[in-house]
Structure 1
């Protein structure tokens, strides 16, 4: 049954880009290995301000960022020299490991003029054995991702294994992550075989055990019989979860199983030891002021990734 309902909170990731933040939450830091979830957009139509929406180069350690677009385009550049235009339905999986920097820029004015930008970004914490791995970036096209359809149900497996689907996306621990679209009245059940599971309602509303839930909420499920989930209208969901990894500390864009590693990452960014993207190295986000917030506390505002 439902263990917790998390309501989205507004956060700013750039001067003109606000997002709905779900994870981390003070009562629930992670769902499986997922430690962060932002929902950006849909962005209202605008012109002439794309640079103010850009997320400048910034660092990560100890996690994988997963960028998934419903609509629009985003240009990713990282310190490996990768430059990738992210398009709807693709999975863009960047593993920071011991350290990487990247930027996300909105360089197509036509997309924003049409109000057509909407994306979900999650962070997946790495197992301890992989926290200091070499950074990588992989783009997976929609054709590489399995899709399942049934009466009123469409789903794409983004990563992991669920409902008998298995994909090509490399993961470091047991998890599932799906994009699900439901017609009004359609029903489905949760994936089985995982100890932690959550549903984020990106659009629409559902009924669970006679109670209605709406867009901008995450439902976290605990032990007990799994309820049937019924769409009250056309609904878009993100399903995610997996096996817990143990305690993780998060500060700004850094995630680690060790507090001292967070402190090292802060100093590495101050001293320029985490390289900037070679094709986007003229500006960056400086280390935020540390207001004595413990390394295990959720940051006040993170960049989108």
Structure 2
């Protein structure tokens, strides 16, 4: 039998801020992208005590990509240089198209810090095709009830963006893509079709068996192309993200928060942020300085 896994990537731990641990999964030295997904950070699950800081990501810039935030637990308040101010809750989607340039911040709301809370979620970046790298920046909030949701093999699935299994999410996208959140109880069995050219499974909680391999938290299994697979949730169930799509149209450079097919464009974005030419974020006057490296 052919191994259904082409490559296994394990997330590596770092801190997004004091007391806010994150697993960075993409890009990896083993694999830079899966479909158009060029970045994947997994935060939590964690419990923040009353009075704790939570997430405090000051305004920072992006170009050439779209950010996608999805929460299992907790909440994040988004502000951006277009003037949007939006709370995101579990099951909702914040899709921010950076395109030619945007700045935003991501913070924990004061009331959540006061009472304490649980936090668990995934942030991904989707590289834009060359034809849309310089598109005008935009922001879209899609509430959970607007997203396709269904039961399969005992598991609950929600399509965050793109197309999957004959369903289409309303979320804006620019190239063939799929992104599905799965909450599977113990022994739930899920078939993953081979409809997209590149596919991967990420384990956010619990464990799941794929063939004779047991995947645990932090594992990203890149699947063999063209081969349908089945995944079986472990004894404690699993939270999974299914992701992928068509390969992006050529290699991408990535530096800090910038993604582009053209290194010179990244250099220009660095100078624009350093010299204050990005629009500011209304209501959030702080900013993250351009890193030295």
Question: TM-score, structure 1 length as denominator?
Answer: 0.91
Structure with the higher strand share, 1 or 2:
2
User: Structure 1 residue 150: deviation in Å?
Assistant: 2.9
Report the 3-state secondary structure (helix = DSSP H, G, I; strand = E; otherwise coil) of the residue aligned with 1:12.
strand
Of 236, 254, 261, 1:257 maps to 261
Counterpart position of 1:293:
none
Counterpart position of 1:120:
122
User: Structure 1 residue 113: deviation in Å?
Assistant: 4.5
Counterpart position of 1:223:
225
Counterpart position of 1:96:
98
Distance 2:244 2:167 in 1: 15
Of 164, 167, 172, 1:165 maps to 167
Distance 2:279 2:178 in 1: 31
Question: TM-score, structure 2 length as denominator?
Answer: 0.94
Distance 2:97 2:147 in 1: 19
User: Structure 1 residue 173: deviation in Å?
Assistant: 0.3
Whether the 8 Å contact between 2:38 and 2:126 is mirrored in structure 1 is yes
Distance 1:154 1:109 in 2: 30
Distance 1:73 1:208 in 2: 31
Distance 2:14 2:165 in 1: 33
Of 1, 5, 8, 1:2 maps to 5
Matched, 1:26 2:29: yes
Whether the 8 Å contact between 1:55 and 1:105 is mirrored in structure 2 is yes
Distance 1:43 1:115 in 2: 8
Distance 2:153 2:192 in 1: 16
User: Structure 1 residue 188: deviation in Å?
Assistant: 1.6
Counterpart position of 1:301:
none
Q: Any gaps of 5 or more consecutive residues in structure 1?
A: 291-305
Q: 1:230 to 1:111 in 2, by over 3 A?
A: farther
Q: Any gaps of 5 or more consecutive residues in structure 2?
A: none
Whether the 8 Å contact between 2:193 and 2:229 is mirrored in structure 1 is no
Whether the 8 Å contact between 1:77 and 1:280 is mirrored in structure 2 is yes
Distance 1:170 1:152 in 2: 29
Whether the 8 Å contact between 1:162 and 1:192 is mirrored in structure 2 is no
Whether the 8 Å contact between 2:68 and 2:96 is mirrored in structure 1 is yes
Distance 1:186 1:118 in 2: 22
Distance 1:142 1:217 in 2: 26
Whether the 8 Å contact between 2:152 and 2:190 is mirrored in structure 1 is no
Whether the 8 Å contact between 1:45 and 1:113 is mirrored in structure 2 is no
Distance 1:191 1:115 in 2: 36
Structure 1 runs of 4+ with >4 Å offset: none
Whether the 8 Å contact between 2:201 and 2:240 is mirrored in structure 1 is yes
Over the residues paired in the alignment, what is the CA RMSD in angstroms?
Answer: 1.5
How do 1:202-213 residues align onto structure 2 when only pairs under 5 Å count?
Answer: 202-213=204-215
User: Structure 1 residue 275: deviation in Å?
Assistant: 1.2
Distance 1:210 1:75 in 2: 41
Distance 1:30 1:112 in 2: 38
Matched, 1:248 2:252: yes
